[in-house]
Structure 1
Amino acid sequence: MEYHNIKPVYDKNSKILILGSFPSVKSREAQFFYGHPQNRFWKVISSITDTKLPGTIEDKRKMLINNNIAVWDVVASCDIEGSSDSSIKNVVVNDLSEILKETNIKTIFLNGGTAYNLFKKYNKDLNMNIIKLPSTSPANARYSIEMLINDWNIIKDKL
């Protein structure tokens, strides 16, 4: 069993929430979201918010907060082989109620199909605008960075 060891990033001004599935091995080691150097999340968010690509964890956190973006993951703990979303079993989900109570989030974006499917399975009672986006993971090799930025640009309308 692996446990989520990264606190959510948000503040009272957060307008959207981006949820991944579960942190990769590299992210768990780094103790922050999207820690694998090949993950395109930070490049995509930097592009759609017109901000400089952040280098440090603190820069990443500031970029999110300054753009009213909250980030967390659907899964709190699970059995997983390495970083493979397809191997996720025995899921315990994160409780989103605190984030949703303390913010003005109206839209939740899911980073990839696994995050979306797990979210829909375990959050049936949540009445919110839910949008699935293509995964920024390097495993989603058929999506170029340009394609990701194009699809993720929908976030701009909600900020």
Structure 2
Amino acid sequence: MAGKSQAGGERIEHPFDPLFNEYSRVLILGSFPSVRSREQNFYYGHPRNRFWKVMATILNCPQPQTVEAKRALILEHHLALWDSVAECEISGSSDSSIRGVRPNDLSIILKKCDIRRIYCNGRKSYDIYRRYIEERTGREAVLLPSTSPANARCGTEELINRWSVITKDLQSQK
């Protein structure tokens, strides 16, 4: 459901469900889906977002090209995807424009699988998690640099190096 807000952005509800199954052990939280992701009805849909390249590299598998292949990559590697924000005012895809946050209720995931670590993809997701969600879950999250094309400070190789901590977590949990 979208509607114009007083600040000029749109008030939008998160348009799709979290991705997880009973085998998920690591949860990766974005902030809120971009315009392209909302059009595709799936996570990290902007072609310049480096999320799928980073994940394929650290998991040592081919980069997925379809939504089905992306879904399989996440689930086969015991990961879960969602976002910190359930509803907000946003202008386009800009995290800096996010206002009037209603956070997601992570218990939907946490009650159904043994999530052992939560990672936030970027500062906005992390700040929202800390402000609205951490007290409810009683769990700290780990901040990772954003894979968004808006994060020009961080090159792909640096993202791969920093995000590789996820594979260490997955290996230690087998």
Same fold at TM > 0.5: yes
Question: Which TM-score tier does this pair reach, normalised by the shorter chain?
Answer: over 0.9
Gaps of 5+ in 2: 1-10
The answer to whether the aligner puts 1:118 opposite 2:121 as a matched pair is no
> Cα offset for 1:66?
0.3
Distance (Å, rounded) in 1 between the aligned partners of 2:50 and 2:136: 31
TM-score by length of 2: 0.90
Give the superposed CA RMSD.
0.7
* Structure 2 residue 162 is matched with structure 1 residue 151: yes
Q: Deviations over 1:2-61 (max 9, x none)?
A: 111111110000010000000000000010000000000000000011111001000000
CA distance in 2, matches of 1:6, 1:131: 24
Which range moved further: 127-136 or 77-86? 127-136
Query: Within 1, Cα distance between the matches of 2:44 and 2:108?
Result: 22
Contact 1:54 1:63 in 2 (8 A): yes
Structure 2 CA distance, aligned partners of 1:16 and 1:148? 18
Task: Name stretches of at least 5 consecutive residues in structure 1 with no aligned partner.
Answer: none
How many Å separate the matches in 2 of 1:86 and 1:117?
12
% of aligned pairs identical? 48
Any idea what the Cα deviations from partners look like across 1:105-153, whole Å, max 9, x if unmatched?
A: 0110000000000000001232224100000000001111000000000
Q: In structure 2, the residue corresponding to 1:43 is in which secondary structure? A: helix
TM-score by length of 1: 0.98
1:68 and 2:78 matched: yes
The residue matched to 1:9 in structure 2 has which SS?
Answer: coil
Match of 2:97 among 73, 87, 97: 87
**d(CA) in 2 for partners of 1:147 and 1:24?**
23
Higher Cα Rg: structure 1 or 2? 2
